[in-house]
């Protein structure tokens, strides 16, 4: 078996003293696509943000390893330069900063050297074409005034440019119409190779029709309560999250 | 004996690159202090017409009678008796750069002037060193069209009637305490006259340099854009770093005649020991357009609110300002627009940054007189703080005495957001690089209105200041 590319090891994450992720473990090997599915409030976004090192989330137990090296102590930019990527659920707008300037800086940071303009333009235009995005798009300010679909496409554009080793996709399918979902999914599939791994974090199963997962995990209350193959996603779609919920939680909900 | 600037007691802004000074004996240096005698001496040295001497003396009396303003910044540390009001390094205003004394030339060479003139980026260049203008030159074809660009003292000698016609008509001597002071002891500044219909297609630039310690620089600039003419004037300012404070108190008056278009751009980069208390005002007549672009990066305290008085229908006034306050600095800057006629329009866009304990204040006045119906104005002021211990305030005052107007106003105060930083850092940018990018984005709307070379310079100065603040 190939060595793990990305390991989440008994991870515990809190937000303002409230424990959200409770000892979650997961191993991604090169070439794999994993999907973590969970209902609202199960800890999906907390997991995604803490993997990237968001300062609001405190990791107080467990480990995150990229190619065997712990990244828990590293700042987000250091994690990014090592090849970890987060596609944001709600990408932040940065007025006054053009996409093209931002993308070139980001790509140079990931590479550790200035990328020549010509090469940059070439790669950029190729990916823009693939995502059916106009070249003028990159003249706009980062996420500023973007529609929901444009924001998600812009995230996939960055995925393609930065070529990370591990991509964490936080609800990338939310808010997309069916055509946009197809284009975004194709973008993910084109990026995917035997050398990288993808962690799709999602509420719904629909993106999994386009991006085939090797493994599906059910996240409830910050823990993985069940793992399986792609058929688990279909079961979830049919039966909902209810059968996986702890009985105590149900009582609380119905009382 | 030369004392390198690096040995002088350095104010915190140690990365300030223009902090050097020339150690030269001034040709004339009046003793410290302010009196009728000092004012008379300045007037004597300049061999002025009697009306100007009288005006100066009257203004001095007004200055003495008027209390210090109690709003704005902390002015209590200014000792008006500890200032040289007139320092002259050379006795000539040259029009050939080669004739400027070497030590002054060296200073300006270090500042990159008149390199820009040589490269054809400017239509004319002026340079003031302490109290006197040492150099003025203008492109020949513009001179032939009747464009005047010279030191205000020289203008008073050569075109006394023209100066007398407009001097103090936009900013009266009793407008405020510092306008009164400037009127009493003014020296230097630029005088520009653009004849009807003449378009000065590339900028005229003046460069103001304080060299002497404990001195006050009181230049007086007067611009008259005749009907249908167009001109863009740019000024830059620097000073050495001294242990004691200097005072810069300028007055700029601009008359925009019908159909004219004037743009006045300032990139103020005084060292952190300069009090920068400046009155700038323009009157705009029928269909004229007046734009102030005001960048404040240096100084200990700046109080400056460029104003446009819209006097006749169709006039348009615009103020674009950027202020950046670092450690030990207070930028109290803003804009003033007065709609005194119907169907006039204005836009105020202000961006202020504070970092490293610095303080930025936006202070604005929008006034619409009764009867000035159909006016439109849009005011937007945004403040960005880079850290917890910096400060930002906004005081946007509106006095609207007319109902049939369209006024838009928006103000924001924000900190460099955790979410923005996280987003950029998640893409591999370091915290410092991410902060710079957010700040550059923040000031972008102003920067993009500058000519390219000034935009580059402004970005560079902001980055220099940030390097001190965020390491």
Q: Which of B422, B430, B437 sits opposite A97 (nearest CB)?
A: B437
Structure tokens that stand for B257 in this block: 């005649």
Which residues in chain B show pLDDT less than 70? Answer: 1-15, 24, 111-121, 468-471
Whole-angstrom Cα distance, residue A38 to residue A185?
20
8 Å CB contact of B425 and A110:
no
Work out the minimum CA distance from A134 to partner chain B, whole angstroms. 22
Owning domain of residue A244: 6-254
pLDDT cut 90: percent of chain A above it: 82
ipTM of the complex in this document: 0.95
Domain of residue A111, CATH code:
3.40.50.300
Whole-angstrom Cα distance, residue B260 to residue B136?
24
Q: Is A106 on the interface with B (CB under 8 A)?
A: yes
Q: Is residue A130 part of a domain?
A: yes
8 Å CB contact of A55 and B444:
no
8 Å CB contact of A162 and B427:
yes
Ramachandran sector of residue B362 (left: φ over 0; alpha: ψ -120 to 50; beta: rest) = beta
Q: Is residue A1 part of a domain?
A: no
Q: Which of B423, B433, B442 sits opposite A91 (nearest CB)?
A: B423
8 Å CB contact of B437 and A88:
no
- Mean of per-residue pLDDT scores for chain B: 88
Q: For tokens 């007055």, name the residue.
A: B251
Whole-angstrom Cα distance, residue A9 to residue B177?
70
Closest residue, chain A, to B418 (C-alpha): A55
Which residues in chain A show pLDDT less than 50? Answer: 248-255
Q: Is residue A141 part of a domain?
A: yes
Q: For tokens 């803003």, name the residue.
A: B334
Sheet of A33-37: strand order equals A84-87, A166-170, A197-202, A33-37, A215-220, A223-228
Domain count, chain A: 1
8 Å CB contact of A97 and B426:
no
Question: Which of chain A's residues have a Cβ under 8 Å away from the Cβ of B434?
Answer: 77
For an interface test with B, which of A46, A81, A109 has the most B Cβ atoms less than 10 Å from its Cβ? A109
Buried b (16+ CB within 10 A) or exposed e, B379-398: bbbbbbbbeeebebebebee
pLDDT tens-digit series, residues B435-460: 999 999 999 888 887 777 778 777 87
For an interface test with B, which of A77, A89, A163 has the most B Cβ atoms less than 10 Å from its Cβ? A77
Whole-angstrom Cα distance, residue B33 to residue B85?
7
Q: Is residue A220 part of a domain?
A: yes
8 Å CB contact of B427 and A109:
yes
- What pLDDT shows up at residue B12? 42
- What pLDDT shows up at residue B371? 95
Q: Where are the beta strands (DSSP E) in B226-273?
A: 230-238, 246-248, 251-256, 261-268
Q: Is residue A137 part of a domain?
A: yes
Q: Is A179 on the interface with B (CB under 8 A)?
A: no
- What pLDDT shows up at residue B179? 97
pLDDT tens-digit series, residues A103-152: 999 999 999 999 999 999 999 999 999 888 998 999 999 999 999 999 99
Numbered residues of chain B with Cβ closer than 8 Å to any chain A Cβ: 417-420, 422-431, 433-434, 437-438, 440-445
């Amino acid at each position: 078996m190939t060595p793990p590319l990305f390991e989440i090891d008994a991870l515990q994450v809190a937000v303002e003293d409230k424990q959200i992720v409770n000892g979650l473990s997961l191993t991604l090997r090169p070439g794999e696509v994993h999907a973590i599915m969970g209902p609202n409030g199960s800890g999906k976004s907390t997991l995604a943000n803490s993997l990237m090192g968001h300062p609001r989330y405190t990791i107080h137990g467990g480990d995150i390893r990229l190619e065997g090296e712990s990244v828990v102590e590293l700042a987000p930019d250091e994690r990014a330069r090592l090849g970890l990527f987060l596609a944001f659920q709600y990408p932040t707008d940065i007025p006054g900063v053009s996409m093209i300037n931002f993308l070139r800086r980001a790509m140079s940071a990931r590479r550790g050297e200035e990328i020549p303009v010509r090469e940059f333009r070439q790669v950029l235009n190729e990916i823009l074409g693939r995502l059916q995005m106009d070249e003028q798009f990159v003249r706009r300010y980062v996420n500023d005034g973007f529609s929901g679909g444009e924001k998600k496409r812009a995230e996939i554009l960055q995925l393609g440019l930065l070529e990370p080793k591990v991509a964490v996709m936080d609800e990338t399918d939310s808010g997309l119409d069916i055509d946009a979902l197809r284009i975004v999914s194709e973008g993910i599939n084109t990026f995917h190779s035997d050398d990288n791994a993808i962690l799709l974090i999602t509420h719904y199963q629909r993106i999994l029709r386009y991006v085939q997962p090797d493994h599906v995990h059910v996240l409830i209350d910050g823990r993985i309560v069940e793992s399986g193959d792609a058929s688990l996603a279909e079961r979830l779609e049919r039966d909902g999250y209810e059968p996986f919920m702890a009985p105590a939680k149900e009582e609380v909900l119905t009382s | 004996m030369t004392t390198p600037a690096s040995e002088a007691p350095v104010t915190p802004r140690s990365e300030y690159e223009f902090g050097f000074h020339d150690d030269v004996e001034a040709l004339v240096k009046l003793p410290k202090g302010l009196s009728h005698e000092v004012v008379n001496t300045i007037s004597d040295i300049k061999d002025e017409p009697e009306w100007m001497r009288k005006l100066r003396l009257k203004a001095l009396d007004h200055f003495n009678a008027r209390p210090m303003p109690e709003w704005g910044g902390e002015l209590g540390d200014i000792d008006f008796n500890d200032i040289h009001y007139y320092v002259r390094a050379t006795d000539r205003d040259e029009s050939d750069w080669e004739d400027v004394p070497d030590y002054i030339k060296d200073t300006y060479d270090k500042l990159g002037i008149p390199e820009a003139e040589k490269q054809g980026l400017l239509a004319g260049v002026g340079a003031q060193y302490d109290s006197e203008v040492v150099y003025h030159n203008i492109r020949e074809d513009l001179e032939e069209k009747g464009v005047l660009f010279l030191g205000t003292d020289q203008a008073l000698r050569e075109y006394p009637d023209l100066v007398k016609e407009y001097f103090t008509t936009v900013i009266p001597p009793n407008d405020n305490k510092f306008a009164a002071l400037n009127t009493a002891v003014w020296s230097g500044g630029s005088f520009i006259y653009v004849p009807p219909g003449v378009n000065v297609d590339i900028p005229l630039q003046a460069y103001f340099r304080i060299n002497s310690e404990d001195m006050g620089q009181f230049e007086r600039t007067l611009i008259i854009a005749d009907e249908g003419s167009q001109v863009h004037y740019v000024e830059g300012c620097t000073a050495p770093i001294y242990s004691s404070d200097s005072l810069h108190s300028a007055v700029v008056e601009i008359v925009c005649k019908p159909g004219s278009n004037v743009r006045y751009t300032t990139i103020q980069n005084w060292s952190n020991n300069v009090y920068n208390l400046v009155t700038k005002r323009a009157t705009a007549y029928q269909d004229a357009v007046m734009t102030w672009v005001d960048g404040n990066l240096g100084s200990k305290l700046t109080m400056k609110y460029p104003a446009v008085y819209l006097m006749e229908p169709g006039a348009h006034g615009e103020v674009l300002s950027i202020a950046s306050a670092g450690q030990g600095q207070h930028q109290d800057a803003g804009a003033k627009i007065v709609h005194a006629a119907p169907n006039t329009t204005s836009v105020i866009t202000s961006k202020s940054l504070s970092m490293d304990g610095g303080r930025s204040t936006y202070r604005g006045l929008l006034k619409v007189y009764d009867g000035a119906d159909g006016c439109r104005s849009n005011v937007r002021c945004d403040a960005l703080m880079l850290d917890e211990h910096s400060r930002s305030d906004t005081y946007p005052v509106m006095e609207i005495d007319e109902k049939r107007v369209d006024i838009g106003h928006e103000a924001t105060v924000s900190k460099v957001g955790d979410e923005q930083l996280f987003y950029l850092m998640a893409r591999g940018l370091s915290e410092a690089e991410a902060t710079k990018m957010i700040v550059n984005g923040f000031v972008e709307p102003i920067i993009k209105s500058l000519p390219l070379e000034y935009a580059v310079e402004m970005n560079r100065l902001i980055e220099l200041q940030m390097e001190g603040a965020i390491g």
